[in-house]
Amino acid sequence: MNIVMKTAKKVILDKLEAQIKTAEAKLATLKARAMTAKANIEIKAITKLLTRKRQKLQELKKSGGNLRAAKS
């Protein structure tokens, strides 16, 4: 290969490497967004469960503390 071909090959390889790095960065960003969305969904689910547990606790307190009713 002559110098022109080697230079052209290097330019193409450098361009491809840059594109791959850009794609990897975009993928990392999408992964981070997905993780954040997943965490938000989990937080909402936990909050909902805690709210239900608090409601059941209040019902138990109002019912006079019947533990058998609370277990079911």
Q: Which residues of 17-29 are buried (b: 16+ CB within 10 A; e: fewer)?
A: eeeeeeeeeeeee
**pLDDT score of 60:** 87
What 28-35 contacts at long range (C-beta under 8 Å, 24+ apart), as own/partner pairs, is none
**pLDDT score of 54:** 95
pTM for the predicted model, two decimal places: 0.61
Over residues 5-33, the pLDDT tens digits come to: 999 999 999 999 999 999 999 999 999 99
**pLDDT score of 66:** 63
Over residues 30-64, the pLDDT tens digits come to: 999 999 999 999 999 999 999 999 999 998 888 87
